[in-house]
Structure 1
Amino acid sequence: MTDATLRSIRVRFDAGADSYDSSAMHRALAHEVASFVDPGRGSAVLDVATGTGLVLRALAQLCPDGGLQMAGIDISPRMLEVARRHLPHAALAVGDAAALPFATDSFDLVTCVAALHLIPDVPAMTDECARVLRSGGRVVTATFVASDPVGHGRPNPARERFDSLDKTAAALGPSGFEAVRHRIFRHGKDAVLIAEWSCSR
């Protein structure tokens, strides 16, 4: 991928950082994912493309006594500014999902919610997820099956690459991931596939 591609993504999400949390769908999806993953006290969690940290914030509500070790990475500095205001104790880094700045075998759970279609180099990203996961760790993805064009702008062909379990499995499979369970989350005209993946590496 080119620096220009990452730069365009950064500019787009920097511009929307202050209003991102106003999306009722994204807030509801974050809570749905948090209830789906049930990370367990003491787990180390990494949220890839964390944005304003909605998923980490929802997970923190499940363990309000600080029972989770939380980290996040995003290409947008402005989105992370918002996340830091809500998650002062999380390790939040500006960076590329295809080159995670975290140690090997350091997380029990990696999440990537409503963002897989935005990542330019998905094979590199999934390889990185496999690298940072501890033995027995898992990945949880949330990808659009259908999306409301009013809420998300014009149709986005990139979302169609992950709009079924089979398509998402084809993307994650080469990095050693296999589907464990899944469900469909619906919010208005949006439908999102939430899936858990185990790693055989």
Structure 2
Amino acid sequence: MASALIQGSLWDRRARDWTCLQEARHRPLRRALLGALAPLSGVRLLDVGCGVGLLLREAADRGAWIAGVDAAAELLEVARWALPDADLRVGMPEALPYDNGRFDVVTACHALRYADDQPAALAELVRVVRPGGRVAIGQWADPDGCLTRDFLDRIGPAVAGPDLSARGALEAHLHDAGMIRIDGSELDFPFTYPDLATAWSAMVARGCVGDALDIAGKDAVYEVFLDVFAPAVRADGSIHDENVFRYIVAGKPV
């Protein structure tokens, strides 16, 4: 739980900025992932790293019974306001506060990158899904041209765990956890920021960047930010950040 408290405090610092500037941008990935899991009527679905509950809201609209876990209590408060009947709990991917086989489907979009022990987190996702159930994971794919990933990588490995976006890496871990790949795809959808100030606010809204700010200091982190983002500023002042995401759906043998 200490890890959950640390991670939660980092993400809670700028929860409003994260909600307004970043979380909604991942809607295409959430929709594609939920589409691959359809139909969801009556399905017991857990979203790990649920944030303010945007994936959960769409899953509920499709008829799912929903639950969510996140390290950030303030983000969960926003989720509770929108989803008062959902089972929402504070926790980390490596130690999910649910019984074995509780869910039909477990989803995790970008949550594993910030797990202290990614194999342990994957094992937890598998543990809480029933035999015959599914685990669906969304994350970055191709890093080329992605300013955000370049920035996160350059401010140091302390901000996140090992990257599972390399070809075959996630599939290998899922196989080791006893899962069988069912479906998967890639999506290309860039992020556009109107100016450098907005892009900076969006970057520091990530809890992991807050960790880097504490370790290296704001000036050092901002210098890296400018080195990555300033050359990408367009004539109108906007910034176009290329992003390629992927999702994988894997089944748990009966």
Partner AA of 2:163 in structure 1: R
Q: Which residue of 2 aligns with 1:163?
A: 165
Shift of 1:41: 1.1
Q: Could you tell me which of 75, 94, 107 is aligned with 1:111?
A: 107
Q: Which residue of 2 aligns with 1:37?
A: 37
Write the distance in 1 (CA, Å) between the matches of 2:86 and 2:99: 16
Residues 1:177 and 2:179 are matched in the alignment: yes
Of structures 1 and 2, the larger Rg is shown by 2
Query: What is the aligned length?
Result: 194
Q: Which residue of 2 aligns with 1:17?
A: 15
Q: Could you tell me which of 78, 89, 94 is aligned with 1:93?
A: 89
Write the distance in 1 (CA, Å) between the matches of 2:39 and 2:114: 25
Shift of 1:173: 2.2
Higher relative contact order (CA 8 A, sep 6+): 2
Shift of 1:80: 0.5
Structure 1 vs Structure 2: percent identity of aligned residues? 29
Q: Which residue of 2 aligns with 1:144?
A: 140
Secondary structure class of the residue paired with 1:161: coil
Write the distance in 1 (CA, Å) between the matches of 2:250 and 2:87: 24
Write the distance in 1 (CA, Å) between the matches of 2:70 and 2:168: 26
Structure with the bigger percentage of strand: 1
Write the distance in 1 (CA, Å) between the matches of 2:76 and 2:59: 17
Shift of 1:15: 1.8
Unaligned runs of 5+ in 1: none
Residues 1:191 and 2:244 are matched in the alignment: yes
Write the distance in 1 (CA, Å) between the matches of 2:166 and 2:150: 21
Q: What's the TM-score once normalised by structure 2's chain length?
A: 0.69
Contact 1:17–1:82 (Cα < 8 Å) also in 2: no
Partner AA of 1:61 in structure 2: D
Residues 1:154 and 2:207 are matched in the alignment: no
Unaligned runs of 5+ in 2: 191-241
